[in-house]
Chain A
C-alpha cells in the first residue's frame, strides 16, 4: 500500500507574527512542518505499521513538498519520523497558491499512483483549507475531510473515516484510491486502526518524536529534487496578497463596582442584553 503525504513548511505558529510594509515579515522566521501535515505523516505510519511490535511490513510513505531548498529540512523531519522517500518541487513560497499546488500534486499522483492521499486539513499559515478538496475534485477521487479517526479495511480496499460534526461523529466509508484530510484528533491514542496493530494498543498522544536512529537514517533516504516544469506547471498564482494588518487593538476592559452597574453597562453600552 502506498500513501502519499503532501506537506508544507509554515512559520512556527508559536512565535509572534511580525508585520512589515504591509506583509508578514518572514526574515529570521523559524519554520516547522505544518502541524496538520505532521499528523498526516503520523497517520500514514500508523496505518502501515504494527504499533505494538514497533515493526512494519511493506507499504510505502512518500512525502511531497513544494517549496524552496530550505524546505528540505521539514521533509527530512518527516523522513526521520519514518516516511520512506520524498519529493521536493522547487518553488518560492510566494509564487504558489492553492491552484498551483493542486496542479503539481495532480501530476505527482498521476505518476506515483498512491492508494491513499493523506493530508492536513489546512496549513496554519493561510488557513485556506482548500487543497485537499480541490485535489480530490480534479482527480475525481472520493474524499473524506477532517478525519478524527480512520480505519483501514482488512482487504485494504476502503477506509472508514470518523468526522466530528456538530451532532456527533459521522462515519464515511470511501473506497481506495481516495483522499483523506486529517484533523487534530487523528493523533489521539486509538484513532487509527489497521487490523495489524492490536485494537487494544494505545499510542502516545500526538505525533511521534523522531528517534535518533530515524534522524540518522533520514540522511540516506531518497529525496528527489524536481521543478514545476518537470510536472508541466508554471507558477501563475490567481490569488495575490494585497496587504496584511494586525487586528485593531482592543480597548482596555473596565472594572465595575457591583452587579447592577455591570447589568446597566451591558444594556446601555455593550447593548449585549
Chain B
C-alpha cells in the first residue's frame, strides 16, 4: 500500500526538487520491497540481506560522501533517506547508518588514499559490509574508558579486547575497531577473516530484531601497518562519526513515527466501538493530534538541522538536542499508536508494536537520551554534570 507521509505544514515546499525525488524514490522502494517482508524478518530475528544489492545500486550507502562511487547528496537528502528507511524498520536504517556514517565516513574523512580506494567503492555498492566497534561490555556511555588495546609489532599492530553490541558484526567483512595505542584512541580497519578475530551474535533481543548485533572478540589479532586510520587520534575520531550517524537518526525516527501515526489514524477511522469509529472520540483525537503536532515540530527541527549542516555551522550539541527530542517523541508516538490499536497493536499483523520495540534501542544507542541531556546541559550552563 502506498505511504504518503505526514506534511501538515507544507514542509515539502522547503525541500528542493532533488530532495523530494530522492525521498519519494526511497519511499517507493520501502513500500514495495521492504514492507511485504520486514515483519517476518523481525519475528524471525533475521536481517533482510536480500535488500542490500538494491540499496547499493540505488546509491543509498555513503550517499552524502563525494567521489569513490558515492553520490554526494546534501545532508537533508541523506536525512530523508534515513527517514524513509526507518519508516520501514529501524534495523534497516541502522544497517545503512553504520555502513554510511560509522564506517564509510571515517574512511573517507580520515583514511589513506589506498584505504579509500580499497573500501569505499565496494562499500557503496553494498558488496562489502562494515561494522563499527566502539562500545565494550563495561564501557557504554563512557567509551573513552575502553580497555581494547593495540600494540606495535613487526610490520603492524596486535589488537586485544572485546567489543559488544556491534551492529552488522557477524555479517561484516571489515570491522572498524577503536583501540588504545600508547594510551590514545585510534581506529583500525580489521578484515574479519584476520586470525584472532571472532564475531558472535547476541540473541534474545526484544528490539532491532531485523538487525544483526554481535560481540567482537579480538585475541592477539594482528593487522598490517596500513590498517590504522592515519588521519585521526583520540576520541574525536569515533565521536565525529557518531555525530554523522546521529544526524541521520534524528530524521530516521520521524519515519518510524509517521508509520505509527499513519497506522493509528487509519485504524481509528475504521474501528467502531459503541456508537462510532474510535477516531470520533475526543480522547483518541487528542492522541492523534499530539502525534501530528510532535511529528511536525520534529520535521522542522530536522530541516533546520540539515540546513545548518549544509552551511557547515552545525554544532554537535545541536544534534544532541534533536536526537534527544525526536527519539523520545517517536517512542511516545509508537506507544500511543499501539494503544489505539488495542489488542491488535500487540501482534505482528501491525507495525506499531515493532517500531515501539525498535525505538527502545534507538533511545539507548548513539548516546542515551540522558547522556544527550547532559551534553546539552553542559552546552547551556558551561558546567559538565559528568566526568571525563
Query: Which positions in A face B, CB cutoff 8 Å?
Result: 12, 14-15, 30, 73, 76-77, 80, 204, 206, 209-213, 215-216, 218-219
Is B72 located at the chain interface by the 8 A CB criterion?
Answer: yes
Chain A nearest CB, measured from B185 CB (Å): 33
List of A residues within 8 angstroms of B2 by Cβ? 12, 14-15
In the complex the two chains form, is B59's CB within 8 Å of A212's CB?
A: yes
| Alpha-carbon distance A77/B54, docked complex (angstroms) | 18
Total chain B interface residues with beta-carbon distance under 8 A: 21
In the complex the two chains form, is A215's CB within 8 Å of B32's CB?
A: no
B25-67 with Cβ < 8 A to chain A: 25, 28-29, 32, 54, 57-60, 63
Is B113 located at the chain interface by the 8 A CB criterion?
Answer: no
Is B21 located at the chain interface by the 8 A CB criterion?
Answer: yes
B25 is contacted by which of A12, A30, A209, A219 (Cβ under 8 Å)? Answer: A209
List of B residues within 8 angstroms of A80 by Cβ? 21, 25
Tally of A-B residue pairs with Cβ under 8 A?
49
Nearest to A211 among chain B residues (CB) is B59
Chain B nearest CB, measured from A204 CB (Å): 7
| Alpha-carbon distance A12/B1, docked complex (angstroms) | 12
A212 is contacted by which of B4, B22, B32 (Cβ under 8 Å)? Answer: B22
List of A residues within 8 angstroms of B73 by Cβ? 212, 216
List of A residues within 8 angstroms of B32 by Cβ? 206
| Alpha-carbon distance A212/B56, docked complex (angstroms) | 10
Most buried by B among A30, A209, A211: A209
| Alpha-carbon distance A14/B18, docked complex (angstroms) | 23
| Alpha-carbon distance A216/B18, docked complex (angstroms) | 7
| Alpha-carbon distance A73/B77, docked complex (angstroms) | 17
Is B154 located at the chain interface by the 8 A CB criterion?
Answer: no
| Alpha-carbon distance A206/B32, docked complex (angstroms) | 10
Besides A73-B17, A76-B21, 13 new A-B residue pairs in contact (Cβ under 8 A), listed by A number: A15-B2, A15-B4, A73-B21, A206-B32, A209-B54, A209-B57, A211-B57, A212-B71, A215-B22, A215-B25, A216-B18, A216-B71, A216-B73
Chain A nearest CB, measured from B41 CB (Å): 19
| Alpha-carbon distance A213/B62, docked complex (angstroms) | 12
In the complex the two chains form, is A219's CB within 8 Å of B71's CB?
A: no
Chain B nearest CB, measured from A24 CB (Å): 18
Nearest to B16 among chain A residues (CB) is A219
In the complex the two chains form, is A210's CB within 8 Å of B71's CB?
A: no
Given contacts A14-B1, A76-B17, contact A209 B29 (CB under 8 A): yes
List of B residues within 8 angstroms of A12 by Cβ? 2
Nearest to B57 among chain A residues (CB) is A211
In the complex the two chains form, is B28's CB within 8 Å of A213's CB?
A: no
Given contacts A14-B1, A216-B72, contact A210 B57 (CB under 8 A): no
In the complex the two chains form, is A215's CB within 8 Å of B18's CB?
A: yes
B195-243 with Cβ < 8 A to chain A: none
